Structure 1
Amino acid sequence: MTAYEYREQIEMMSKSMFRYCLSRTGSYHDAEDLAQEIMLISCKGEQSFENEKAFYAFVWRTADNILKSWYRSRRDTAELDETISDGSWEALEEKAQENEQLRLITRELSMLNSNYRKAMVAYYVDEMSVREISESFGITQSMVKYLLFQSRKKIREGTVMERDFGKLSYAPVELNMLFWGTNNKYFRKFDDKLSHNILMCCYYDKQSEEQIALQLGVPTAYLEDGLKKLVEYDLLNVKNGFYQTNVPIFTNDVFAEIKKASKTAVEDISNTIATEIDDSMDDIRILGFYGSDAPDNTIKWMLLSLILRLAYCDMAFDEPPLDFPTDVFGEKCFRFFVEKSESDPYGVGTYGIHSNDGMIIFWDVLINGERLHPYVSDAMADMLVTLAKRQPQTDNEKLVCSELIKLGLAVKTDEGIRPNFPCLTKEQGDVLNNGILGLCRSICDNVNSRTGNIRKVLLEHTPQHLADYVSKMAQLLSYRETEQIMQTLCERGWLLPMKGGMSGTTVMYLYN
């Protein structure tokens, strides 16, 4: 397991472990303490698990041992021998589960908002008076009485019904956050599944914190930080205690409809692009740019990337110009989430990084599990253009080069360290762009003529409060046809996912 996978598993297991301990102990505080102890021990073995199966086996074995120790420590309330037998252990589990009323009460207590829950614990567990709670929490005695009254009411109502947890509690969604603009302040901040499912839960209907907890099947205690962060970044609105998602979420069903509607057009565009590239391959190599002697597949990826970027981004987004909304940080951008799909391994995005002397262009193509582009700092971008002219000289330059090699963006050769992708001078890039300009214009006109169809599909799946936002995105989302084109050309065998050598699938560089 990678460090990222390990952290994600720990996060997911922590919620399940709390509920498991709560069902076994009947005590919110004991369950919280035991769950924390179990996950703390599990955290110490980050590098020791080969896969998820080994991880889960260790966690549940740890949970079993810690719960047995907890039962032994409560000899004053449960007459346990020092050497507990398997039969006694099972009997004790059954006894804990039989206390249905206690289970219901602790369940409802865990679902309460933190302020209500803390007041209840202070009054009934810590045996504090209303005056003491008022002084400790810094609120009026009237507010303390109100919190206790409302908490008792909520618990009473909850214990006389059996809660039906929502679909997201057993079939959670997994999303990707996408950003189109400059100065992305959201990068890697909302990769967790809890954020995804909170947003999905509040997408079509406003939900209170308690309703969200019910839909997701988790205590409100686990929601508070996530809700606060989503509101802080304006991905979630809150008014009068009710939350509503503030950015579009496009599911696989949405893209399936768009894909079906554009299938014929995509096939025609794919055929045209393949023919044009095949016919111009020799002329392109004659330009003599760095990487011009690479295999045909690398050159195909380079040319395809240029054509798609020029047609679907540079041209399509300027005619007419995209009407960018402004986010909470004052940036002009589009923010949205798309549903992940294991059945469709293709995914695509584009990104450009400017250096002192040019620009690095990434086409992120997730084919056969290939990763998205790595993070490239300004120093890395500047070093890449330097490598096209000379070798590193200072210790700092050499250090940056070592990072570029690790990321696969640079490679050691007999001639020294060189960029690991095609590089063109400005003059070579201008010649190449002029050669594909007519083709790109034809593709762009075709795409723009079908934007209305995309807008119609999007609005059919969008809640009313986001209709204006989404209506501006039809032009932007047309770029996802590039994914279909790459998929079509790969499935035909005309284009091959890169396995090694130059990383032509994702990167190219133009320098002045």
Structure 2
Amino acid sequence: MQTLPKDKITEITKVIYNYSRLRTASGEETEDLSQEILLELIKAVPNLRDHSAFYSFMWSVAGNVYKQWCRKRASRKECELPEDLPFPDDPFAFDEDSDVSLLRRELSLLAKKYRQAVVLYYLENRSCAQISDALSISESMVKYLLFKSRKLLKEGMHMERKLGTLSYNPKTLIPMYSGTGPNHFWDFLQSKVRQNIVCACYNDALTVEQISLEIGVALPYIEEDIDALTDKQILVKKGNLYSINVILITKECADEIDRASEPFYEEIAVKIASFLDKRLDDYRNIGFAGAHFSENTLRWQLATLVFRAAAFYNFSGKPAERPVTAWGDRAFLWCVEQNDSEGKCIFRYSGMDGKNGNSLYFFDYVPLPKGDHHDFFGNDRKINLYCDIARGQTDHF
């Protein structure tokens, strides 16, 4: 029977609580709703067959429980903003063209400092003095934030806003890394939300509100990701606009590169083959482990060294100077949009060093973003073990 691990329960408890808080008028109702959702979710988990679909399963359970909770509620409290702006008690009870629906939309686009003040004042019924203590700001600042929030909400409700194409057709990016040290960039950019924030800022510099609309995710759920991307210099902020700070090779760009370079493929291949064939015997005579391999295998081994030289040396013959990343390593960072077209493969080259001068070089050409080198990267034990096997030094195993 499948159960939720403790760390997963802790993670989703926060998410469910925030979900409930945006749909209830008091702290007590928030706790009641979130507990009901969590209870039903834990009871329903054993019926989940595909763990990769957990989050869509979770939101489905949350939506069903919330609808039932609304029906069972004996009385309803209306929470209204001044200036005749109604605040939704039940977000499922209104048409999309209603003022309440528009208000809900605009609340999801408010910047954090304004949204916090609105939620504390109108949803949790806290006084300005209490909000001042909670946010560590003056009471006059609280009043200003509430005043500014009402102004922004009214203006926004009269604006036409449309979700961007990424909201229904998200992209998948492959983080590419060429440099020293652990590949933090790969792990950092595995989030689908972060990948599409990067895509949203590809052509134009956008505000956080525009990013939210472009990817179809409410601002409260992406603010931390935007801050993290900015902190790691994947995004840059100028004023209130964000743009990407890494190269992004889209499918269209990759196709154009292929079309432009295709006429030169044969010429380049002939030159590389000629270069390798002239040095094949010298290479074999070095006497390394694997020198007895076939000529074709040795050609590919030599080819990896040629490609390495092309990748790491500039036209002057000097090693290319890599910039310092936000993690403190020296590396080139870029992203490639995943291409699902049949026959499209990803070229991966990677070199890594172990103890005693051991080095492994991988040349992956596979239709998957994760090649063999990924399992060896940063793992000295595997590198040294592999090199010992290549030398025939297995007595210590």
SS at match of 2:308: helix
TM-score normalised to the size of structure 2? 0.74
Partners of 1:93 and 1:170 in 2: CA distance:
21
Q: Deviations over 1:424-482 (max 9, x none)?
A: xxxxxxxxxxxxxxxxxxxxxxxxxxxxxxxxxxxxxxxxxxxxxxxxxxxxxxxxxxx
1:322-378 Cα deviation digits (max 9, x unpaired): 243343455443222222211163111222111213211112322367735213412
Q: Is the contact between residue 285 and residue 292 of structure 1 (CA under 8 Å) also seen in structure 2?
A: yes
1:143 counterpart = 2:121: no
Distance 1:220 1:35 in 2: 25
In structure 2, do the counterparts of structure 1 residues 293 and 73 end up closer, same or farther at CA, with 3 Å as the change threshold? Answer: farther
Looking at structure 1, the residues matched to 73 and 352 of structure 2 have their Cα atoms a distance apart, in angstroms, of 61
* Partner of residue 433, structure 1: none
Which position in structure 2 is the counterpart of 1:340? Answer: 338
Q: Which residue does 2:82 correspond to in 1?
A: none
Where does structure 1 lack aligned partners over 5 or more consecutive residues? 1-10, 79-91, 399-512
CA distance in structure 2 between the partners assigned to 1:102 and 1:71 by the alignment: 17
Find the counterpart in structure 2 of residue 160 from structure 1. 158
Name the aligned partner's letter for residue 357 of structure 1: G
Contact 1:207 1:243 survives alignment (8 Å): yes
**1:277 Cα deviation from its structure 2 partner:** 6.8
- Matches of 2:96 and 2:334, distance apart in 1: 46
Quickly say closer, same or farther: Cα 1:27–1:127, change in 2 above 3 A: closer
Aligned to 1:361: 361
Tell me the distance in 2 between the aligned counterparts of 1:282 and 1:46.
62
Please give the alpha-carbon distance, in whole angstroms, between the structure 1 residues aligned to 2:42 and 2:266.
Answer: 51
Q: Taking structure 1 as reference, are residues 64 and 325 closer, same or farther at Cα in structure 2, changes over 3 Å only?
A: closer
The percent identity for this pair of structures is 31
Please, which of 372, 384, 387 is the counterpart of residue 385 of structure 1? 387
2:360 & 2:66 partners in 1: Cα distance?
A: 55
Residues 292/37 of structure 1: CA separation in 2 closer, same or farther (3 Å cut): farther
For residues 106-505 of structure 1, the aligned pairs below 5 Å read 106-183=104-181, 184-271=183-270, 273=272, 290-291=289-290, 298-299=297-298, 301-310=300-309, 312-313=310-311, 319=317, 321-329=319-327, 331-343=329-341, 345-355=344-354, 356-367=356-367, 371-373=371-373, 374=375, 375-387=377-389, 388-391=391-394, 393=396
What secondary structure is seen at the aligned counterpart in 2 of 1:380?
Answer: helix
Does the 8 Å CA contact 2:312/2:319 hold for their aligned counterparts? Answer: no
SS in 1 for 2:188: coil
| Residue type at the aligned position of 1:134 | S
* CA apart distance, 1:321: 4.2
C-alpha offsets along residues 138-197 of structure 1, whole Å, 9 cap, x if unaligned?
101221111111111111122223321222222222222222222244231112122222
Deviation at 1:224, TM superposition (A): 1.6
Q: Is the 8 A contact 2:230 2:236 kept in 1?
A: yes
| TM-score, length-scaled by structure 1 | 0.59
- Residues in 2 aligned to 1:268 and 1:289: alpha-carbon distance in whole angstroms: 31
What secondary structure, in the 3-state scheme, does the structure 2 residue paired with 1:205 have? Answer: coil
Structure 2 Cα separation of the partners of residues 47 and 306 of structure 1: 52
User: How far, CA to CA, are the matches of 1:185 and 1:146 in structure 2?
Assistant: 41
CA contact (8 A) 2:94 2:100 kept: no
1:236 partner amino acid: L
Displacement after TM superposition at 1:112 (Å): 1.1
2:393 counterpart letter in structure 1 = R
Is the contact made by 2:206 and 2:242 (CA closer than 8 Å) also made in structure 1?
A: yes
- CA deviation string 1:178-230 (max 9, x = no partner): 22222244231112122222222233433222222122221111112101211
Aligned AA (2:161): R
Structure 1 pair 250/362, CA: closer, same or farther in 2 (3 Å)?
A: same
SS in 2 for 1:384: helix
Partner of 2:49: 49
CA contact (8 A) 1:357 1:385 kept: no
Q: Deviations over 1:251-271 (max 9, x none)?
A: 222232222222121122234
SS of equivalent to 1:364: strand
Amino acid at match of 1:360: L
Query: For 2:300 and 2:46, how far apart are their aligned partners in 1?
Result: 38
1:26, distance to aligned residue in structure 2 (A): 8.7
Instruction: Label 1:94 to 1:338 Cα distance change in 2 as closer, same or farther (>3 A).
Output: closer
Determine helix, strand or coil for the equivalent of 1:206.
Answer: coil
Deviation at 1:320, TM superposition (A): 5.1
Distance change (3 Å), C-alpha of 1:208 and 1:27: farther
Distance 1:304 1:329, change over 3 A: closer
Structure 2 residues not aligned, in runs of 5+: 1-10, 78-89
